[in-house]
Amino acid sequence: MLLGPRMANREYNVLFLCTGNSARSIMAECALHRWGAGRFRAFSAGSNPKGVVHPLTIELLDELGYQTGELRSKSMDEFAGPGGPHFDFVFTLCDQAAAGSCPIWPGQPITAHWGVPDPAAFSGAEDEKRRHFSRVYRELEDRIRAFANLDLETLDSVALKQRLAKIGQQKILPGQER
């Protein structure tokens, strides 16, 4: 077993990485705090952070009942140095973060790529942008709910990596939004 029964009652640290840390990774951090409360601690960061959270990210998360006052765009360097948290899982959410140079994380966390479109890069009318942000959030939320419901204590490393890859392929098609 990968994580084993001795670790069954501990919290796992999870890092969501993106390029700008202004939308996707922030949404994922919030969703895991909600769906994995007590079992997971979520963090987010960017390889080239924007420095601010996108206003439509804040608007959507506010509408969904999240506390957004403490959210901020931050660099992955904040977590990569000595004294940073030990991560059990690291998920890349954009192709640039997956292909870019990421630090070697101590403890060799389990990694997976869960690519989703960047809602901040979407161009269109304001209502179309809001729908796009919502669709991306729902796709991430579905993946995170599936992840949070995994029985980590019974999966070996190969099975866990396969499950995480399969979860990363889940998509919400236009018209399937809730």
Active site residues: 18, 94, 102
Give 137's Cβ-side CA count (13 Å radius): 24
Quote the CA–CA distance of 161 and 32 in Å, as a whole number: 18
Residue with tokens 């990421």: 102
CB 13 within 8 A of CB 43: yes
Quote the CA–CA distance of 20 and 49 in Å, as a whole number: 4
Helices 157-168/126-148 angle, 10° precision:
160
**H or E element that contains 56:** helix 55-63
How many residues in the chain? 178
Q: Which of 143, 137, 144, 142 is nearest to 122 (CA)?
A: 137
